Structure 1
Amino acid sequence: MDFPTFLAQCLNAVQYGLLLFLVASGLTLIFGIMGVINLAHGSFYMIGAYLAWGLAPLFGDQFLLQLLAGMALAALLGFVLEWLFFSYLYQRDHLQQVLMTYALILVAEEVRSIVAGNDVHGVQVPGWLSGSVDLGLMSYPVYNLFACAACLLVALGLYLVVNKTRLGMMIRAGASNRDMVRSLGINVTLLYRIVFAAGVALAALAGMIAAPMSSVYPGMGGGILIICFVVVVIGGIGSISGALAASLLVGLVDTFGKVFFTQFSGLSVYLLMALILIWRPQGLVSKGY
């Protein structure tokens, strides 16, 4: 492998890892803070991709507005779903959570089939993000660089919100002791609803960003869900910084595993998870966010 090819694979690994982080950060918020095993989280990623396909004719090259509109719709969906379904799962055992969220996967797939059909769809890259940029030794698609920058910007914003704002302080306190937070007069029900809506919006944003780089197809949330659970376990349940580190690590291992160990590439990520859990059963970041 020559150096330009190695550099391209590194950029691909970082881009894939950052997209994984967007999905996994929402999952770790819901799983770590609210205590709900949400198998339907991959469906929110799929919904985001279909939103990108459905909204593209309405917004044209106004891609940033399209992303904001899609996130707003996804957050509204998350708010309603938490009110109708997930708010009843907090005091239930994990088996009931798994059954409920698996049922939501089936509902999401059926609604997707009715609304968008079962065909594979493509989403065109916006005109102002098309083409490639010369990096000296190689050229790289502009849109892929935009995806990396957008994910990094969201990661920074998420860190600032959780660690530097009053809302983030309430979220951290609610994760540690929800009864104490409730006794202080904070509306924990509304707080959890906001957290869930944010998690859904992050997953949908990842789907919208990924849509122009890949096709939009039925069942696309299943594969991303499994990898995201791996990321959450490796990074440490409830840790956003751990999810970021684990996502980048998984992206590197998965990308270069497919390059150097093609026949065993499917095992590389799970082998990584096993090794890290042997070394640190609590994940890379066991405390903090």
Structure 2
Amino acid sequence: MNIQQIGVVGAGQMGAGIAQVCAQAGYQVIMFDLNGEALEKALSGIATSLQRLIKKEKLTIDEMQGCLANISASTELSSMAQADLVIEAASEQESIKQSIFRQLDDICHPDAILATNTSSISITRLAAVTKRPSNVVGMHFMNPVSVMALVEVIRGLQTQDAVFDQVTQVAKEIGKTPVDVKDSPGFVANRILLPMINEGIFCLHEGLAKAEDIDEVMKLGMSHPMGPLALADLIGLDTCLSIMQVLYTSFNDSKYRPCPLLVQMVDAGYLGRKTGRGFYTY
């Protein structure tokens, strides 16, 4: 199948970034979200991101206009009907993603590929709620999507090789580096990253150092561009907690136990940059 139109479900930070890089590569993109304000914010954010590229002389005004012209927005999930590839980028909650996949399965044409940007949830289980499990695959982008090169391409148990190959090719065409990863909780990136962030939160919880100093240790001592607590704020503390809970319940191993402070922060609604307050104030 020749992939020409790409659907993106979810207009949050990740969905907007995915829509942008796909549109920049010349694909027709339809971005869906139930919240019209979220769509407006996403389109505005994409325009701002493209303007930054113009200032850095990495993009021309004509290219920016072409990219924006490639993106349309809708508050109706039925808008995904003509998409050849749909990339789901909704909240990191399995029940929400399963509901979306059931609906997409009924809406999309039979040959359409359904991909998920999940950062930890089983591709195999998401595929199983559809009547096209062989056409379901994982495409885990990194945040921020417009900057980070990696895409983990994850096969479910049912994913056919042709679908994996097509999605891998799309990842290359949008300027990303695809890496073949098996379906396992957290995959590779978050299997390593989130326990590190969680341990940084434990350091704060136990009073070893202030948030700024914990981040400074990792930046100066390990050459990380961003400390674990600032990174948690960027990812979203609710997303961090969801991933840790998936790891903890999937492996039944105490080393993945979410830090109590992380749980409390989420309970308080301190989710990081998107709410203006996390381990730092924005």
Give the TM-score, by structure 1 length: 0.27
Higher normalized contact order (CA 8 Å, seq sep 6+, divided by chain length): 1
Q: Which has the higher helix share?
A: 1
Give the TM-score, by structure 2 length: 0.28
